[in-house]
Amino acid sequence: MSAGFLPEPEQSRLKAVKARWQRAGREIDMTEYVVEFGRDGRVEPDGRLDAPPFHRNHQAIRAVLQRVLAGKSGDVVEAGSGTGQHVVDFARHFPGIVWWPSDLHDAHLKSIAAWRAHAGLANIRPPLRIDLSDPAWCPELRDGSVAPLLAVFCANVIHIAPWRVAEGLFAGAARYLRADGQLLLYGPFKRDGRHTALSNAVFDTSLRHRDPEWGVREIQDLEKLAGHVGLALTEVAEMPANNLVLVFERAEQARPGSPSPVHM
């Protein structure tokens, strides 16, 4: 995320924070974020959008998926695919998995379709139009056109959307995941009421300034939400730029005890 995406008061505050930390010999990383994914990158003639954060985070995210999905096959939905760059990268590195990109915004759906055509990979399906605030998600999942899911992956969505989107995400995942399926969330999160970095606190303030229903979500609130639909948090993976990957499984599949921390 560039400082240009913040309101002017937050830009000034962030610059002051950075200056203090740099004087102390420390660096601060801003959480990666764009409201309309790809708007700050190039647009190809065929409609492919480019989101600069993809180039910074795709390898770290893929490393988590390589560990979690190793040796598995099946169908995976990416909820909120944005530009479509991640799903192409995933499909290229996981040829034994069928990838279903999705989004709600027309510009994103066009970009996803363009990236799919450009990549020419047989294991990427046409993008689904999914409204995550609706627990049923979309007709293709409701009518069984898509097999029970090996996983649902969702990056940088629930903090730029009302809470009902998180509710619908968890409800839909619980509805469509197969018995050993997993829900993976990537993004910034709060732990025990605290931000994991000062930059995330500034970011959270800027989100709530834009929309009071937005904001960096508390892990414990997501655990409660998961519990209501029969899911449980089983892993928290540390990621670059003060982000995390949260892994949820069906409660009956989860091992007793606290979620296992993983440092990437």
Q: What is the pTM of this model?
A: 0.83
Q: Does residue 131 register a pLDDT over 80? A: yes
Residues ≥6 apart with Cβ < 8 Å to 259: 233, 234, 235, 236, 246, 247
Token digits for 21? 């930390």
Q: Is 109 strand, coil or helix?
A: helix
Q: Write the CATH number for 134.
A: 3.40.50.150
Query: What's the confidence (pLDDT) of residue 30?
Result: 35
Q: Is residue 262 domain-resident?
A: no
Reported as type and span, the H/E element at residue 99 is: strand 97-103
Query: What's the confidence (pLDDT) of residue 252?
Result: 83
71 CB burial (10 A radius; 0-12, 13-18, 19+): exposed
Residue 9 gets which letter from DSSP?
A: H
- More confident: 42 or 99: 99
Q: Work out how many domains the chain is built from and give that number.
A: 1
Nearest CA to 123 among 83, 96, 154, 143? 96
Mean pLDDT, rounded, for 32-43 = 54
Identify whether the C-beta of residue 78 lies closer than 8 Å to the C-beta of residue 87: yes
pLDDT above 90 covers what percent of the chain?
A: 77
Q: Is residue 237 domain-resident?
A: yes
List the domain range (segments joined by +) for residue 236: 3-254
Q: Does residue 135 register a pLDDT over 90? A: yes
Query: What's the confidence (pLDDT) of residue 16?
Result: 54
Q: Is residue 264 domain-resident?
A: no
User: What's the chain's average pLDDT?
Assistant: 87
Tokens 């056109």 — which residue?
145
Query: What's the confidence (pLDDT) of residue 121?
Result: 98
φ, ψ dihedrals at 215, nearest 5°: 150, 155
Nearest CA to 239 among 193, 177, 197? 197
Q: Is residue 261 domain-resident?
A: no
